[in-house]
Amino acid sequence: MGHEVEKAALERGHIIVGRYDSETDWNKVQMPECDVVIDFSTPENAPIIVNHCFDLNIPVVSGTTGWNELLPIYRERAVKQKKSFLYASNFSIGVNIVFAINKKLASLIGNQSNYSARIEEIHHIHKKDAPSGTAINLAQGILNNCNKYDGWLPERQEDNKITINSLRIGEIPGTHTVTWTSEIDTIELKHTAHNRSGFAIGAILAAEWLQGRNGSFSMEDVVN
């Protein structure tokens, strides 16, 4: 993703002033003039990077998934201290359109007791977190818009939980499917990424949009 983000940034006329791959790099660097940091790292490093940017008053866009339990802390700090922070589990414009459709579908089908929902996500074998942040976001969209479920579970089915199945295959960039099934039919909402460029372009658009704004934001704010 780092290479894809750099390529997309250069194509849109931006200048890359630094590339940092470890905490050691961050500790060594004297930050040059910089408009934004874009983070696609690991769940362990993302909080360190975001904190570093906050301390230096540099806007930060993060697409690292797998650290959801800590996100509220950084979102709150961004709001209280007027930092610039934008987090998204997926920067693809197409995926964010699917997020909106998913919420609408959940609200329409929520009163239909004969339908049950499940989510499947497929990614490349190098992805460390499972379920994906996008799958969790889809599950949360269902939870917030229908009363049928009170949570989600990975790889296990319970009547009041949404099941999320995760597969790691080859070099697949990302496929997400929400399925509502009844005895008479199946409704399927699916997004398939053909490559990583859509994520990278979305991250650059988010970085451009964040300029001059303080607080905590999401890709939904950018799309809207």
Residues 53 and 122 reside in one and the same domain: no
Instruction: Kindly state whether residues 23 and 68 are assigned to the same domain.
Output: yes
Instruction: Please check whether residues 12 and 69 belong to one and the same domain.
Output: yes
> Of residues 7, 14, 103, 127, which has the active-site annotation?
127
- For residue 23, the model assigns a pLDDT of 63
Encoded tokens for 116: 């049950």
Predicted confidence at residue 29, as pLDDT, reads: 60
| 98 and 185 inside one domain | yes
Over the stretch 75-131, which tens digit does the pLDDT of each residue have?
999 999 999 999 998 898 899 999 999 999 999 997 787 899 999 999 999 887 889
Domain that holds residue 133: 93-192
pLDDT computed for residue 103 by the predictor: 95
User: 123 catalytic, yes or no?
Assistant: yes
Count CB neighbours of 121 within 10 A. Answer: 25
> How many domains does one find in the chain?
2
Residues 6+ positions from 79 with CB-CB distance below 8 Å: 215, 216
**Residue 42, pLDDT above cutoff 90:** no
Is 127 considered catalytic here? yes
Q: Which residue has the higher pLDDT, 222 or 19?
A: 222
Give the pLDDT score at 66. 85
Q: What is the mean predicted confidence (pLDDT) over 185-212? A: 93
- Residue 28 shares a structural domain with residue 110: no
One domain for residues 12 and 70? yes
Question: How far are the Cα atoms of 56, 151, 177, 202 from residue 95, in angstroms, in the given order?
Answer: 32, 22, 11, 10
Confidence at residue 125, expressed as pLDDT on a 0 to 100 scale = 92
Q: 173-184: per-residue pLDDT in tens?
A: 899 999 999 999
Question: Would you state the pLDDT for residue 18?
Answer: 83
Do 61 and 143 share a domain, yes or no? Answer: no
- Phi (first) and psi of residue 71, to 5 degrees: -55, -45
CA dist list (Å): 25 to 45, 48, 101, 196, 221: 12, 12, 41, 25, 32
Share above pLDDT 70 across residues of the chain, in percent, rounded to a whole number: 95
pLDDT at 160: 87
User: What pLDDT is attached to residue 177?
Assistant: 98
Whether residues 33 and 71 fall in one domain: yes
Q: Are residues 177 and 99 in the same domain?
A: yes
Choice among 52, 123, 148, 176 that is catalytic: 123
pLDDT of 136 reads 93
Please tell me whether residues 129 and 117 are part of one structural domain. yes
Q: CB-hemisphere CA count at 13 Å for 51? A: 10
Give residue 133's pLDDT. 86
CATH of the domain at 159: 3.30.360.10
Which domain CATH number covers 31? 3.40.50.720
Question: In this structure, are 79 and 129 located in the same domain?
Answer: no
The first and second tokens of residue 104, run together, are 């609408």
Question: For position 221, what pLDDT does the model report?
Answer: 93
Residues 51 and 64 grouped into a single domain: yes
Instruction: Give the pLDDT band (50/70/90) at residue 7.
Output: very high
pLDDT averaged over the chain? Answer: 90
Q: Which helix (H) or strand (E) holds 215?
A: strand 215-217
57 pLDDT higher than 80: yes
Average pLDDT estimate for 155-162: 81
CA distance 27 to 205: 28
